Structure 1
Amino acid sequence: MFGKDDLVDNLSRDLDRARLRRDALASEATTLAAQIAEIEARLAEEKSRRERDRVLNEIEAIKTRIKHAAGAFAPVVDGLSKAVEQASAVVPEARELNSFLVSVATEIDTVLGPLLRELDQRADAVRIGHAMLDLPSQAIEPPIEPPKEANDRLLRFPAWLSRDKETDKKEAADKPHSTAA
């Protein structure tokens, strides 16, 4: 019987060691699970921060392009207005074009301020984490410059640019023929 007791003692010790190893591994697994959760949270936060930075940079780039385009537009309108004023001495109807240019410049000036303020508000919402805009990544576009070639066509602005859409619809109904080239 002496050999049977040794076997039971050996098996008991092996069982105790196996349980200790199991408990140690379970503790390590719990620790590893906690570390993984912490790293995943940090990774998600870093991705979110980078996305916010990307969106903020895009908004700033949009604002810069708008300001640059508006800055390029004003001298063109001014030069065109002066040229049309001189042409009105020969063709009195040219004054209509001049008044149109002034109204377009005024309209653009009127809507640019609120547009830039709205972009700032959206950027602030992104900055504090209350909103996340889904802006596609854009390649850096070259600055907008006036056309280099002389073009006699009158530029047509889209209907959404006008504040008075009903007037635009009535004018379109009054002019059934197309002015497209």
Structure 2
Amino acid sequence: MFGKDDLVDNLSRDLDRARGRRDALASEATTLAAQIAEIEARLSEEKKRRERERVLSEVEAIKTRIKQAAGAFAPVVDGLSRAVEQAAAVVPEARELNSFLVSVATEIDSVLDPLLRELDQRADAVRTGHAALDLPSSAIEAPPVELPKDTNERLLRFPAWLSRDKETDRKDTAESPRSTAA
């Protein structure tokens, strides 16, 4: 009988050790699961932070390009307006182009500040985490706008509605009516 009790004692000890290891492993598994969840949360936050930084950087790049383009546009309009004024001494109809230039410049001026403010508001919403903008990564890739180096070499091509031959175009369209029969 002595041998049977040793076997039972040995199996009981083995069972207790196995249960102890299981409990230790379960505890470690729980600890590891908590650590994994914490690391995943930190990783997610870091990804969100980097995405916010990317979007904010792109919004700033867009604003910079808009300001550069507007800065390049004003001198061109001014120079063209002065040239048109000189041309108006010879061709009075040129004043139409000048008034058109002034209206375009005025319209651009009137919408530029609200556009920049709206970009700032959207950037603030991204900064605070209240909004996520999905901008294509190509938003940064556009080259900055530069003033033309030599404006004398540029040929200006105006749309047909600014052409002096407006009446000729109208006569041509009136003489060749479109056929509606199929």
Band the TM-score falls in, shorter-chain normalisation: 0.7 to 0.9
Equivalences for 1:54-73 in 2 at 5 Å?
54-73=54-73
Q: Which amino acid aligns with 2:155?
A: N
Give the superposition deviation at 1:143.
1.4
Structure 1 residues not aligned, in runs of 5+: 157-173
Instruction: Work out the percentage of aligned pairs sharing the same amino acid.
Output: 82
Alpha-carbon distance in 2 for matches of 1:154, 1:144: 21
Say yes or no: does 1:153 pair with 2:153. Answer: no
Alpha-carbon distance in 1 for matches of 2:25, 2:143: 59
1:3 is paired with a residue whose SS is helix
Q: Identify the residue that residue 119 of structure 1 maps to in structure 2.
A: 119
RMSD: 1.8
Give the superposition deviation at 1:58.
0.3
Say yes or no: does 1:6 pair with 2:6. Answer: yes
Alpha-carbon distance in 1 for matches of 2:89, 2:77: 19
Q: Which amino acid aligns with 2:76?
A: V
Q: Identify the residue that residue 167 of structure 2 maps to in structure 1.
A: none
Alpha-carbon distance in 2 for matches of 1:3, 1:137: 77
Give the superposition deviation at 1:140.
2.8
Q: Compute the TM-score of the two structures, normalised by the length of structure 2.
A: 0.83
Q: Compute the TM-score of the two structures, normalised by the length of structure 1.
A: 0.83
Give the superposition deviation at 1:144.
1.5
Q: Identify the residue that residue 77 of structure 1 maps to in structure 2.
A: 77
Q: Identify the residue that residue 105 of structure 2 maps to in structure 1.
A: 105
Alpha-carbon distance in 1 for matches of 2:61, 2:30: 46
Report which of the two structures shows the higher radius of gyration computed on alpha carbons.
2
Alpha-carbon distance in 2 for matches of 1:32, 1:152: 70
Post-superposition Cα deviations, 1:1-44, rounded to whole Å, max 9, x if no partner, equal 11011000000000000000000000000000000000000000
Alpha-carbon distance in 2 for matches of 1:137, 1:155: 34
Give the superposition deviation at 1:145.
2.9
Alpha-carbon distance in 2 for matches of 1:114, 1:95: 30
Alpha-carbon distance in 1 for matches of 2:146, 2:101: 18
Q: Identify the residue that residue 142 of structure 1 maps to in structure 2.
A: 143
Say yes or no: does 1:15 pair with 2:39. Answer: no
Post-superposition Cα deviations, 1:84-143, rounded to whole Å, max 9, x if no partner, equal 000000000000000000000000000001000000000000000000000011243221
Give the superposition deviation at 1:152.
3.0
